[in-house]
Structure 1
Amino acid sequence: MKLSLKGKNLTYDQLPSNSNKLSFYYLENRFKRVKNIKNFNNDILVTLGLIANDKYTIAAELLSDENSMNSSGIDIVRFGKSISQFLERKTIKNESLLKQLDETLHFFEKNYPKIEVVEGFNRVKKSPIPFEAFREALANAIVHRDYSINSLIKISMYDNRVEIVSPGGLPEGLCDLRDYLSIPRNIIVAQIFFMLGIIEKFGTGIKRIRDAYKSHFLKPKFDIKENMIRVVLPNMLFDDSNMLPEIRIMNLIEMQLEIRRIDVEKKLNVNKSKAIELLKKLVDKNLITTKGNGRNQVYVIND
C-alpha cells in the first residue's frame, strides 16, 4: 500500500472509497457556519477533493456522516486512582471526523473543568490541562494518523495527565516530528481542517502545544515509535505534595516519559544524595530502569 501510494504520488485519503452513497450534513453545516457557503453541492465536493473521477475518495468517507471505516474512531478512557479503575469509557465511531473531534472535546471539558485558584489577591479560573493544547494535539492526531492501520486513536485520561496515541509513526524518510506535521499524511483532510480553522499553518502544532505550557515546570512530551506517536499533556494543577516521594517520582516519569536525577531534586526539593537514594529504591524494586550513562543518564518506567 505505502509503495503504491508513493509511486502514484498520492496520500491515503486521496484513494477512491468503496462507498457510493454518502451524506455530509455535519460537514455542510460547519462550512456554512465558518465559510458562509450557501450551496454545498457536488461541485464543492469536487473542489474539496472529496470526489475525484466521479468517485468518493477515502477523505469523503472519513468526513461523511456515516464514516464506516473500521480504522476511524477514538477510544477514550477516564481512569481513577489506578490504571485498573475505569471511571468512564467512550468509543466514538461511525461519525464524521469533525463530529469525532467535537464529541471528544466535550468529553475532555467535562473531565477537566476549570478550577478556581488564588493568584495574589485574586481568584481566577484555570484549566488543569490547557484546552488549546489538547485541542491541537487531538486535531493533529486525527489529521496525521495512518488510516491504513486498523486501530483507533486512544486517549487515556488520568488525574495527572492526558495521553493521546495515534496509529502510525513517522512516514518513511522523515526523522523529525515537525517535518511530519508540515507534510500531512492525509492531505485532503488536513486542507479541510485548515480551511475550517481547526488547525493552523502546517508544522506549527507542536509549538502551540508547547507554548501552552511555557510558564510551567512540567512540559508536554512527544514519544515517537515505529507504529505510533504519543503525546503526553501534564495536569498543571495536579498536587501530589502529600504523596510518598516514590509515588511522586513515578508520577513525574509517567508525565515526562523520562527524567534525570536533577528533575527529582527540583520536583521534590531534595538534595542530590536524597534523589539518588530515592531513584535507587525504585530501580531495586524493578519499577524503573536507567538508560545512558553519566550526564546522559535518564530514568524510565520499566516495561
Structure 2
Amino acid sequence: MQLTYDKQIALGENSKVEFKSTFNQEVVESVCAFANKHGGTIFIGLKSAEKILGLQLGPESLQHWLNEIKSKTEPVQIPDIESFEYKGKTLVAVTVHESAIKPVAVQGRCFKRHENSNHIMSPTEISDSMLQTQNSSWDYVLDESSSMDDISLEKVKQSIERINSRGYHIPLDAEEFLLKNRLLRNGKLAFAAEMLFAKDWHMNTAVQMGFFQSPTIIKDRDEAHSDLVSQVDQVFNFVKKHINCAVVISGKLENDLVWDYPLDALRELILNMIVRRDYRSPSESCVKVFADHIEFFNPGKLPDDISINDLLSNHYLSTLRNKAIANHFHQLGEIEKYGSGITRVIKLFHEAGLEAPKFEVTGTGVKVTVWTREVADKPTTNEKVVIKTDDNPTINEKAVNKADDKPTITDVEKQIIDYIKNNGESATKEIAKHIELSITQTKEYLYRLVRANLLQALGANRNKTYRLNK
C-alpha cells in the first residue's frame, strides 16, 4: 500500500484523492462524498503534495476517528484507516469504498465528490441516488394523482402492435402490458406511462421548434407536446419540412434523393433528445432550423463522471436518466443498443462527407449543432439535378447538365462573378449578403457556376469559399 499511497499523493487532489491537515468535520464530509460517488482516499497530515505537515497520534486516535465517522454517517460508513510514514512524517490514509446504499448523509446533509471538491447534493440528485440504489429511475415512480383516464389505451395497443410486428407475441391487452412493464402498480400510473401514452398532450413534454431566416427572424414555428412516441415523428417531420433535398437524375430507373443532412442521423438525434431529456427540469427541449445548420437543445446535463470527450469517443458506461422510457423505445425497435446512438450519428455524418456534429454542455442542458451539406459538393458527372427548397417548395429544375456548352448566365450569377472578381475568394455568407438572397438560394447559383466551370469551390462544408476559375 505504501507505493500506492506515494503515487496517489504525487498526483495531487482529484476526484478520488483529498488532502486534510488534521482530522475534523470536513474529513467526515469527504467520507460521505466519496461513498456517494466511486470511493476514494483521504490523506490526513498534509496540505498538498509538497507541504507535508505530519501528525502526532495517540494510541487510540485512529479508533476515535473511526467511531466519529460511524456515529455521524447514515447509513453507517466504516472506511479503512491506517497510519504510514511518508518523507519522514506520519500520515493517515482513510480509504472509502463506494456505498451500496445511497445516498449517504452526514448529520442530515448529503455530499457528492465532483472533480477535486465536495458539493452538497441537490434534492434531485438525492432522489436519483435513491432510485439508482433500487436499480430504478424517476420515470418508474408512481404519480399518486393519476388514473387510467389520463392515458389512451388505444395508444398502448398501437405500441403493442408495433412490438409484435418485430416478431414478438404480446397479448393485445393494454392493462396487462402496463402491469408487466411496471408502468401500472396499485392502480396508479408511473410518470413514464403518462408521457408515453398521453391522450392529447402532456405539460412536461413540450418541444419548441422553429425555422429561422436569421437568428432573430422566425419564418415558421410549432410545438410538439403530445405523447413521446408520436413526438419523434412530429419533430422529425418539422425538421424535414425545412431542409433541402436534391433529386439527382442520372439515367437510373429510380432517381437518387440527396438531403442536406443524413436523415437517419437526424432521427437518431431526435430520439436521443426525447429519451434522455430531464423531464423534471422547467426548461423545454428546443429545435432551431437555420439555412445552414440545425441546433438541438435538451434539458439535462451529462452525469458528473462523463465528459463530452467521453461521449464522442464512446468511452463511457451509458447511464439512463429515464429507464422506463428508454426500455419502451427499445421494445419498439427505435433503440437497438444503449449508448451507441452518438457513435452512429457521427459515423453517418462522416459517411455523408459532412462535418461531425458539435456537442456542448450549455446552461442547464446539452446542445448539439449539425451543419448542412454544401449543394455544390454533390453531383460530379453529367447528371441533371433538381433542387427542392423551402423558398420554392415545388420541385423545379434549377441546374443544367454539365455538358451544356454555353450555359446562360443570369443577372444574379453575373453579380456573383463581379463580386468575387472585385473582392477575391469569398464565402457563401458574404456573397448572399451582397446579392441579398438567402443562403439556400445563393448555394443554388454557386452550384450552377461551379458546374459551368466559372467558379472554383475551395474547402468543405461551413469553411467552403469560392474564387474565379482560372
Does residue 1:26 correspond to 2:158, yes or no?
A: no
What is residue 106 of structure 1 aligned with on the other side?
237
Gaps of 5+ in 2: 1-123, 377-425, 434-438, 440-458
| Aligned counterpart for 2:321 among listed residues 175, 179, 185 | 185
What is residue 145 of structure 1 aligned with on the other side?
277
Letter in 1 for 2:369: V
| Structure ranking higher on relative contact order (CA contacts 8 Å, 6+ apart) | 1
Residue 166 of structure 1: SS of its match in structure 2? strand
Moved more, 96-105 or 48-57: 48-57
Retained in 2: the 8 A contact 1:146–1:167? Answer: yes
What is residue 232 of structure 1 aligned with on the other side?
369
Deviations, residues 192-221 of structure 1 (Å, cap 9, x unaligned): 101101122001101111111114152211
What is residue 244 of structure 1 aligned with on the other side?
430
In 2, the alpha carbon distance for the partners of 1:195 and 1:56 equals 19
What is residue 359 of structure 2 aligned with on the other side?
222
Deviation (angstroms), 1:117: 4.2
Change (3 A) 1:166 1:117: same
| Aligned counterpart for 1:127 among listed residues 246, 256, 259 | 259
Please give the TM-score of this superposition, normalised by the length of structure 2: 0.49
Retained in 2: the 8 A contact 1:161–1:235? Answer: yes
Change (3 A) 1:7 1:226: farther
What is residue 294 of structure 1 aligned with on the other side?
none
| Aligned counterpart for 1:62 among listed residues 190, 195, 217 | 195
In 1, the alpha carbon distance for the partners of 2:220 and 2:138 equals 33
Gaps of 5+ in 1: 252-261, 271-303
What is residue 336 of structure 2 aligned with on the other side?
200
Residue 178 of structure 2: SS of its match in structure 1? helix
Please give the TM-score of this superposition, normalised by the length of structure 1: 0.74
Change (3 A) 1:53 1:83: same
Retained in 2: the 8 A contact 1:170–1:226? Answer: no
Aligned length: 255
Retained in 1: the 8 A contact 2:275–2:322? Answer: yes
Retained in 2: the 8 A contact 1:73–1:91? Answer: yes
Does residue 1:162 correspond to 2:294, yes or no?
A: yes
Change (3 A) 1:114 1:246: closer
Letter in 2 for 1:116: V
What is residue 127 of structure 2 aligned with on the other side?
4
Deviation (angstroms), 1:108: 2.1
What is residue 93 of structure 2 aligned with on the other side?
none
Mapping of residues 273-284 of structure 1, within 5 Å = none
Does residue 1:15 correspond to 2:141, yes or no?
A: yes
Change (3 A) 1:212 1:66: same
Letter in 2 for 1:79: F
Residue 232 of structure 1: SS of its match in structure 2? strand
Deviation (angstroms), 1:223: 1.1
Change (3 A) 1:125 1:96: same
- Identity, in percent, stands at 25
| Aligned counterpart for 2:178 among listed residues 28, 34, 45 | 45
In 2, the alpha carbon distance for the partners of 1:173 and 1:219 equals 23
Deviations, residues 13-68 of structure 1 (Å, cap 9, x unaligned): 11112321322322421321342444133221022221134321010111123375
Bigger Rg, which one: 2
Deviation (angstroms), 1:183: 1.7
In 1, the alpha carbon distance for the partners of 2:296 and 2:317 equals 15
Letter in 1 for 2:269: A
In 2, the alpha carbon distance for the partners of 1:147 and 1:179 equals 26
Structure 1 vs Structure 2 CA RMSD: 3.1
In 2, the alpha carbon distance for the partners of 1:109 and 1:182 equals 29
Does residue 1:96 correspond to 2:219, yes or no?
A: no
Retained in 1: the 8 A contact 2:354–2:461? Answer: no
Letter in 2 for 1:98: V
Letter in 1 for 2:146: S
